[in-house]
Amino acid sequence: MYKFIKTLFLVLFSGLFCHLSTAETIKIGLAGPFSGPYVAAGDQQWIGAMLAVDDINEKGGINGNKLMLVNADDACNPKKAEKIARKFVNSKEVIAVIGHNCSSTTLAASKIYGEANMLMITPASTNPDITEHQYHSIFRTCGRDDSQAELAANFITNKLNAKNIIIVSDGSVYGNGLSNSTKKAFEKIGTNVTLFQGNSSENNYPELAEKISKLNPDVIYFGGLQTDAGNFLKLLRERGNKAIFVGGDGIASPDFVRAAGGPNMVQDVYMTFFRDPSSIPEAKKAIKKFEEKRAIPTGYTLNAYAAVQALAEAIKNTSPNYSKMSDWLHQNKVDSIIGTLEWNEKGDLKEAPFIIYKWNDEGNYEPY
């Protein structure tokens, strides 16, 4: 499906790129995992950003100039992300960056962008540390792990009435950050966690599934990305474990369902994720455009679209003095596909509402 969507978009945009080669353009870096195990997340970002650029250019561009994306594949690898960041910073043409996607790569690259005062907007990285450095040029169009952790802890405690709770991290920067934030959120409301298996990239999932199943938990909270989450859930169910499985925004991908073994394996799985786009009028129109091009906007696709919208507004209002774009975003609101965006001094959204979703027997997630 993703290969088909990519091919379709390349066909749709090939004419546009030919046209741009002879017109004045404004180049924007697009950095994410466009290969490797997390390519599904990269595709979400790529499709959202591409459609946003297409829509802006169809309306005449920005101040008469067209936008062009310059893709860079970091494969969710921090060292590759650092190289990409240096390349963009040293470029005389790329004026800002949409990305990165994985929290580990965004953490690595954001320091380089921040020190160079180059505007970077991540549509998907939720680790709190990304903006705690308080670089003036680093922004998000998504929420933070500590916010979704509080929601998850309260939901598990007060709605699911869980007494025997286990937290597992996949060992990634994202997974460790989310798991630790969730553990703190449980402690804050006085809920006991039976077992915390965190901060290890050497998890032996079959062994861990056996260990956890013997503890007979009510809820297993998994802090991690889609493939590991799906694989671990499959191992649990194969061992007869019927605990309620809860995850964060990192499992908002069809890859989670595939890794788990299909739609029947993800029933009664809950997750925290950004608010339902169907409740936002601006998003409904864009979703229709996505569907017309056979591109279903899953995960952070719409947040990537919104990141381009925010950048476009900053360009429009500061051109040709692009060094002022970060100042402009800190001082102004942007109407976007996911609602009105406004940032605090750290570059975090002042309002980034997470809600609870539940996976159904068709392998889709819907608001709970």
* pLDDT tens profile 129-188: 999 988 999 999 999 999 999 999 999 999 999 999 999 999 999 999 999 999 999 999
Give, in degrees to the nearest 5, the angle at Cα 163 between 158 and 166.
105
Instruction: Name the pLDDT band for 359 (thresholds 50, 70, 90).
Output: very high
Q: How far is CA 291 from the centre of its chain?
A: 20
Q: Worst-scoring range by mean pLDDT, 112-116, 237-241, 251-255, 278-282?
A: 278-282
Which residue is associated with the tokens 């409904």?
284
Structure confidence by residue, pLDDT tens digits, 261-311 = 999 999 889 999 998 777 777 777 778 878 887 777 888 999 999 999 999
Q: Residue 333's pLDDT band (boundaries 50, 70, 90)?
A: very high
10 confidence band (pLDDT: 50, 70, 90): very low
d(CA 80, CA 57): 30
Cβ-based neighbours of 143, under 8 Å, separated by 6 or more: 126, 249, 274, 349, 352, 353, 354
Which top CATH class is 145-274+355-367?
A: alpha beta
The pLDDT confidence band at residue 8, using thresholds 50, 70 and 90, is very low
With CA atoms as reference, report the closest residue to 276 among 298, 291, 256: 298
Tokens of residue 59, six digits: 């309306």
- The per-residue b/e assignment along 333-342, b for 16 or more CB within 10 angstroms, e otherwise, is ebebbbbebe
Domain(s) of CATH 3.40.50.2300: residues in the chain: 2-144+279-353, 145-274+355-367
- Average pLDDT taken over every residue of the chain: 90
Structure-model confidence comparison of residues 323 and 18, the more confident one: 323
Q: pTM higher than 0.95 for the full model?
A: no
Whether cis (ω within 30° of 0) applies to the bond prior to 206 is no
pLDDT at 233 over 50: yes
97 close to 114: Cβ distance less than 8 angstroms: no
Residue whose entry in the numeric block shows the structure tokens 């940032």: 343
Q: Where are the beta strands (DSSP E) in the chain?
A: 25-32, 66-73, 94-98, 120-122, 138-140, 165-169, 195-197, 219-223, 244-247, 269-274, 334-336, 339-341, 354-359, 365-367
pLDDT for the residue 41 = 92
Q: What is the CATH number of domain 2-144+279-353?
A: 3.40.50.2300
